[in-house]
Structure 1
Amino acid sequence: MGSCNCGFLAQEITKLSKTEIHSRAMHKYGDWNEQLNDYCPTSGLLMDDLISQMLNFGLDTDDLKRLEKLSDKEVLNRLQKGQRFLTPNKKEDVVLYLNEWASLLEEKLLDNIRIPVNAEQLIVSGSW
Structure 2
Amino acid sequence: MRPNSVFLAVAVLSVAWAGAIQADEPKMPPRQVLLEKSVELPVNKVNSRVVRVIFPEGYKTPLHTHEGPGPRYVVKGKVKIEEGGQVREYGPGEVFWETGQWMTAENVGQGEAELIIMELGTPK
What is the TM-score of this pair, normalised by structure 1? Answer: 0.19
TM, length-normalised to structure 2: 0.20
Q: From the CA coordinates, give the structure whose radius of gyration is larger.
A: 2
Structure with bigger strand share is: 2
